[in-house]
Amino acid sequence: MMKPLPSWAQQGAFIGIVGGQDFVEDRYAAMKAQGLPMAGIWMQDWVGQYDFPEGTRLIWNWELSKTQYPNWDEMVDNWEKDGVKPLIYINPYFANLNTGQFKDVEVTHDYFTEGAYKGYFVKNQVGRPYMVDSISIQFAMVDFTNPEAREWIKDIIKNNLVKIGRAGGWMHDFGEYMPFDAVLYDGSDPYVYHNKYADEWQKVCQEALDETEEGYEIVWWSRSGSTQTPGHARLMWMGDQLTTYDKYDGMQSAMIGLMNANVSGFTMGHSDIGGYTSTIVKKLGKTWLSYTRDETLLKRWIEMSAFSDMVMRSHPTNLPDDNF
């Protein structure tokens, strides 16, 4: 059974914004002036970001970026006076920061190198970290069957997200990528462990927060799981819908997903308001394909969320500058 959410999460919207501290604070001031009820400001880019030919990606290293948010504590202190919490992002993967696209990225702690050296990642058939490609990112997966690796990622959650990040919650992303030819620390069959990996990602977070004073008050939302996940996860969301109305992967599909999830035991759910996946394909100066949201779609999604979701959380999409 999924636990009720803390009262603060019902006092306003979770507003998704990216762009660094100056931009976020400017938008916050504008929304505050309009009297918008806000429970939290959700900043995926708290870890920093970098540009590549196809767009912008987060730095999967799970520590606060002082480049992106140089005065984080001052900003959070000001929001606390208004009863608004910072919301951030994490997943169970660590990017290889030794590849070329990260040459100008500054971090204080290279977690990929540490995790690889200590054997904390899922391995391939020759005993090396199993590297997975995600467009511009090459990453390794934490091996939850390794007790030391579990404590390692739990310490990152407790220290970097809760203590330093002072987060009221976060997107607890991914968990569904377990390769069928991987080698796990305890010898588990990766085919059998595939769905369990997603469930263990939720359990790790629950264990970490049970060891903090803030535990119950923190809201984290997940997209992957199995039949046992409702007993561990705090809040679900419906994944990455297209910025469309359609029933296959757009706004309508989010409502269908919510209803199916609810009768399956995932009783605390919501979707990205406005959708997430936006695509623009151009050739010879002409737009051949475009999935972008306009003002009307965003408003309709807001209305749907108001009457169906456990929380209202907006998303800037994967192409924030091209969507309303």
Amino acid 100: pLDDT: 75
Residues annotated as part of the active site:
173, 176, 240
Ordered domains of the chain (ranges, CATH): 7-237 (3.20.20.80), 245-324 (no CATH)
* Structural contact between residues 14 and 42, judged by C-beta atoms closer than 8 angstroms: yes
**Looking at residues 132-136, what average pLDDT do you find?**
86
Q: Is 74's pLDDT higher than 90?
A: yes
Amino acid 103: pLDDT: 77
Number of helices and strands in the chain (H, E): 7, 16
The pLDDT-based confidence of 285 (bands split at 50, 70, 90) is: confident
Counting Cα atoms < 13 Å in the Cβ hemisphere of 97 gives: 22
The pLDDT-based confidence of 137 (bands split at 50, 70, 90) is: confident
The tokens describing 258, both together, are 């919510």
Q: Is 53's pLDDT higher than 70?
A: no
The pLDDT-based confidence of 54 (bands split at 50, 70, 90) is: low
Counting Cα atoms < 13 Å in the Cβ hemisphere of 28 gives: 26
Alpha carbon 177 to its chain's center? 15
